[in-house]
Structure 1
Amino acid sequence: MNVKLIKTETDYQNALSRLEVIFDAKSGTPESDEADILGLLIDEYEKKHYPITSPDPIEAIKIRMEEMQLKQTDLIEAIGGKSRVSEVLSRKRKLTVGMIRSLTTKLNLSASLLIGEY
């Protein structure tokens, strides 16, 4: 087992290639231990160099609407009126506290996700 820290993009690509080879190693073998260690190293490198940011509130609403197969009209009760839903989703109107409360319940999204800037 020749595991080393991932410091460069080349190291990262090499680690991914090696992990692909040993990914299905039998548990308890040196290759399995190497795969576990490589997985941790790759994860840390990706967190630092390829961070995944949360979507902005409007994007989060749109994603959840798609997941739940909802239309804009399905948000009228939570947001208040067809034109208001359209204005919010097109970023022409900010979400109010009342809208955020309703949307957290209707769409099962966290309030902290919906209070972000956009």
Structure 2
Amino acid sequence: MDIKPLRTEHDYRSTLERIEGLMTAEANTPDGDLLDILVTLVEAYERKYFPMELPDPVEAIKFRMDQLGLRPKDLEPMIGRSNRVYEILNRKRPLTLKMVWQLHKNLGIPAESLVKQPENVCVR
């Protein structure tokens, strides 16, 4: 098993190719163990060199609504009355901690995405 840190773009690409060849490996076999190790190395490299910024909270909500086929009315149990839902979706009001908790719990939106300071809301 030839494993080394990923230091260059070439190391990264080569490792991705090795992973592709191991995708059918069964768990708890030498190839399965190698696959786990290589995936861990690639994830660390990507976190370092390709960091992903969290989405805007409103965009995260709209994306999840689209995924689940929800309408603004469906958010009322989590956010409040329809006028409050539209204030949130139109960036007129920031999310409260209770709203964040409810959206996370009921829609599975990562809390980290919901607590990020929105781009166009004046937070006091």
TM-score (norm: length of structure 2): 0.67
Give the gaps of 5 or more residues in structure 1. Answer: none
Q: Distance between the aligned counterparts of 2:102 and 2:45, measured in 1?
A: 38
**1-10 or 64-73: which moved more?**
64-73
- Following superposition, the deviation at residue 108 of structure 1 comes to 5.4
Q: Secondary structure at the match of 2:59?
A: helix
**Matched residue, 1:70:** 70
**1-10 or 89-98: which moved more?**
89-98
**Matched residue, 1:12:** 12
**Matched residue, 2:93:** 93
**91-100 or 65-74: which moved more?**
91-100
Q: Could you say what the CA RMSD is over the residues aligned between the two structures, in angstroms?
A: 3.0
**Matched residue, 1:44:** 44
TM-score (norm: length of structure 1): 0.69
1:116 and 2:119 equivalent? no
Structure 1 contact 19–38 (Cα < 8 Å) conserved = yes
Q: Distance between the aligned counterparts of 1:8 and 1:72, measured in 2?
A: 46
Counterpart AA for 1:11 = D
Structure 2 contact 54–116 (Cα < 8 Å) conserved = no
Counterpart AA for 1:79 = G
**Matched residue, 2:121:** none
Q: Distance between the aligned counterparts of 2:24 and 2:102, measured in 1?
A: 46
- Following superposition, the deviation at residue 6 of structure 1 comes to 0.6
Give the gaps of 5 or more residues in structure 2. Answer: 119-124
**92-101 or 32-41: which moved more?**
92-101
Number of aligned residues: 116
Note the alpha carbon deviations across 1:34-60, whole angstroms, 9 max, x for none.
Answer: 333222211211121223343232122
